[in-house]
């Protein structure tokens, strides 16, 4: 396989999956910039780990990319926590404003309001449920793929999905037009 074919395969893979990968990164970070940084770092880690000088780099399977994003977001969170502790110890208070993640892009005001309601509702459910919903609905993964990504049994992934949907149903009201 030539470098041009490899490059085209990679571009096509990222074109097909980039949006869902960024969405997952958004769910794991506090702002858009961190999400983009996490996505870029995760893809770079995959490249470094799985590239081969003779075979080049073929695009990874989607669950592996989600796992890399999750791990990179955890690393970012840890690094951020360490930095914050250092700043607090030196009497510098670091304040971070809470903001609703812009998980969805929509054109109409009604769609935007509904998307904001959903984003808020997703932030209210436990992270372990939110991860499964994000991977299932927006990541389009199977429960088996989710189980591998999150390192949990497939039945647990399915249960968490059901619990998450029930929690969201209780929180969200039907959209009134």
Q: Rounded to 5 degrees, what are φ and ψ at 52?
A: -135, 130
| Per-residue pLDDT band at 80 (split at 50, 70, 90) | confident
For residue 95, the model assigns a pLDDT of: 37
Tell whether the model's pLDDT for residue 77 goes beyond 80: yes
For residue 99, the model assigns a pLDDT of: 37
Better pLDDT: 53 or 14: 14
Share of the chain above pLDDT 90, in %: 39
For residue 137, the model assigns a pLDDT of: 87
Tell whether the model's pLDDT for residue 88 goes beyond 70: no
Share of the chain above pLDDT 70, in %: 75
Which region among 48-52, 116-120, 158-162 has the lowest average model confidence (pLDDT)?
A: 48-52
Better pLDDT: 117 or 38: 38
For residue 159, the model assigns a pLDDT of: 95
Q: What is the pLDDT of residues 90-114, one digit of tens each?
A: 543 333 333 334 455 545 676 777 7
Tell whether the model's pLDDT for residue 79 goes beyond 80: yes
Tell whether the model's pLDDT for residue 120 goes beyond 90: no
């Amino acid at each position: 396989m030539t470098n041009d074919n490899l490059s085209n395969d990679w571009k096509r893979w990222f074109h097909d999956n980039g949006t869902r990968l960024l969405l997952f990164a958004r769910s794991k970070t506090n702002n858009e910039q961190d999400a983009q940084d996490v996505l870029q770092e995760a893809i770079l880690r995959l490249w470094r780990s799985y590239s081969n000088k003779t075979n080049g780099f073929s695009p990874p399977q989607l669950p592996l990319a989600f796992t890399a994003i999750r791990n990179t977001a955890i690393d970012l969170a840890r690094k951020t926590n360490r930095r914050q502790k250092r700043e607090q110890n030196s009497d510098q208070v670091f304040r971070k404003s809470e903001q609703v993640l812009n998980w969805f892009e929509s054109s109409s005001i009604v769609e935007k309001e509904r998307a904001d309601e959903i984003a808020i509702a997703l932030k209210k459910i436990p992270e372990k449920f939110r991860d499964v919903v994000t991977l299932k609905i927006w990541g389009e993964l199977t429960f088996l793929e989710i189980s591998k990504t999150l390192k949990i049994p497939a039945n647990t992934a399915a249960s968490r999905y059901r619990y998450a949907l029930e929690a969201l149903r209780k929180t969200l009201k039907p959209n009134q037009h």
